[in-house]
Amino acid sequence: MLDILFLGTGASVPSKDRALPCVAVRRGPDIVLFDCGEGSQRQLMISPFSFMKIRAIFVTHLHGDHFYGLPGLLQTMGMMGRRDPLIVCGPQGFSEALRTCLDICEGDLEYDLESRDVSPGDVVAVKDMTVSVFATEHGITSQGYVLREPDVRGRIDAKKAASLGIEGKDFSVIEDGGEVNGVRLGDISDPAKKGISVAYTGDTRMCQSVRDAVEGVDVLIHESTYMEQESSLAEEHFHSTAVQAASLARDAGCGTLMLVHISNRYKEPEKVLGEARAVFPRTYAPFDMERYRVTGSGVRSV
Catalytic residues: 65
Of 220, 225, 230, 232, the C-alpha closest to 263 is: 225
The verdict on whether residue 239 carries a ligand-binding annotation is no
Q: Is 84 annotated in some ligand binding site? A: no
Q: Is 222 annotated as a binding residue?
A: no
138 annotated binding-site participant: yes
Q: Are 146 and 197 in contact (CB under 8 A)?
A: yes
Q: Are 34 and 25 in contact (CB under 8 A)?
A: yes
Q: List all residues 6 or more positions away from 58 whose beta carbon is below 8 Å from its beta carbon.
A: 32, 33, 34, 35, 88, 89, 90, 124, 131, 145, 200
Residue 261 is assigned to a ligand binding site: yes
Q: By C-alpha distance, which of 118, 110, 117, 60 is closest to 86?
A: 110
Q: What are phi and psi of 106, to 5 degrees?
A: 55, 40
For residues 41 and 75, is the Cβ–Cβ distance under 8 A?
no
What number of H helices and E strands is found in the chain?
11, 15
Give the annotated binding-site residues for Zn(2+).
61, 63, 65-66, 138, 203, 261
Give the annotated binding-site residues.
61, 63, 65-66, 138, 203, 261
